[in-house]
Amino acid sequence: MPKYVIERDIPGAGQLSPQELQAISQRSCQVLGAMGPQIQWLHSYVTGDKVYCVYIAPDEESIREHARQGDFPANRISAVTTTIDPTTAEV
């Protein structure tokens, strides 16, 4: 199943309280539960004004539907083609 990185423009994301982040996470999980197991949220990175989410999904449209149902922005959706890490440098 393809993996995607979703870039969400959320002004002040880095200033959200733990309670606000919990509420957003709960809403996301609620929508995912209704959509079924074919789409999965792996984790997210919260920065100053953006949230970067990593999902496994059958296609980009599933990601967009999750965003619509949850009322989340999905400003950029990028399919992951390869994963590298420090072990990639090893010979």
Q: For 67-78, what is the mean pLDDT?
A: 97
Amino acid at 59: D
Is the per-residue pLDDT at 91 higher than 90?
A: no
Output phi, psi for 29, to 5 deg. Answer: -65, -35
Q: For 7-34, what is the mean pLDDT?
A: 97
The tally of domains found in the chain comes to 1
Q: For 66-72, what is the mean pLDDT?
A: 96
Beta bridge partners of 77: 6
Dist CA 63 CA 42 (whole Å): 13
Q: What is the CATH number of the domain that holds 61?
A: 3.30.70.3090
Helix 18-35, helix 60-70: angle, nearest 10: 120
Containing domain of residue 23, as a range?
A: 3-89
What pLDDT does 35 receive?
A: 96
Alpha-helical regions (H) of the chain:
18-35, 60-70
